[in-house]
Amino acid sequence: MPSFSSRVQWGTERSRIARALAARHGSILDLTQSNPTDAGLSYPPSLIEALADLRALRYEPTPLGLSLARESISEYYGGAVTSEHLILTASTSEA
């Protein structure tokens, strides 16, 4: 349990929900977890291998999304949508 400043005037004991979650840890899926490094995900070897690609060391932002990704999506859909007509965003808010 993290320690808080002595200026904090409320209790630092776990809530009923936090205690229930801790008691059932591993037996339920916590959909509130937003940090993938804490979610217990297993990463496929192909993903780890892709991170070793030297192209991943360079950040080149593109306003429509990475062209290779847009081309791959176009190919996935059999060319029904061309990569020039695709826009990739990180979230609906960004879109």
pLDDT in tens, the chain (95 residues): 556 677 777 777 888 888 887 887 766 677 777 777 777 788 888 888 888 888 777 878 888 998 999 999 999 999 999 999 999 988 877 77
Is the pTM here over 0.85, yes or no?
Answer: no
**Amino acid (1-letter code) at residue 61:** P
Q: How far apart are CA 65 and CA 83, in angstroms?
A: 10
Do 89 and 61 contact (CB within 8 A), yes or no? Answer: no
